[in-house]
Chain A
């Protein structure tokens, strides 16, 4: 499992590139400005689970607009994901 983290806003070319290389068994985490990509209908056809960092969702105020396919996780759960992952790829 590779953990991909997105911290760029929707429309940034790196999001498209990330989707290009995602595999079914991977995990995708939205953090920082990347959480805006979690708004309903922004990310489609993602082959793996999507997570978003709770504290960044609170900060940006988009909790209510979050797509319901996305799981909210804490900083501690983020750490657990990095431990589980074979490697991490940062898209920024």
Chain B
């Protein structure tokens, strides 16, 4: 049987980490897409950058630690994690405040990122 065509997917995650379930769903979706060996990129935009903050502690809470889940992404073959420079600046964040090595993108590079992928899934 022919190898199915690979489709690149950009996952757009825009929500704060513990506000509702959308941020967790974006991680679930990323892992599922990677399991099917599709090329996956994750873009944390706006409040989404807060999901990558170091030092999240969910002990004593019923929430899953989204920071830990995100830091496991490279193990599943998801190496391309992006954030936008505007939101990093808004929250006064530097690369060392984040728990994963990420690429920080200007607005012009963001625009190119969207057109470089076959699909965009927005959370």
- A interface, CB within 8 angstroms of B: 2, 13-14, 16-17, 20-23, 86-92
Contact = CB atoms under 8 A, between A and B. Distances in A.
13 contacts: A2-B115, A2-B120, A13-B46, A14-B14, A14-B46, A20-B84, A21-B107, A21-B111, A23-B111, A23-B115, A87-B114, A87-B117, A90-B122
B84 A13 contact: no
Contacts, number: 41
A87 B120 contact: yes
A22 B108 CA distance: 9
A92 B111 CA distance: 18
Contacts of A17: 14, 45-46
Contacts of A92: 122
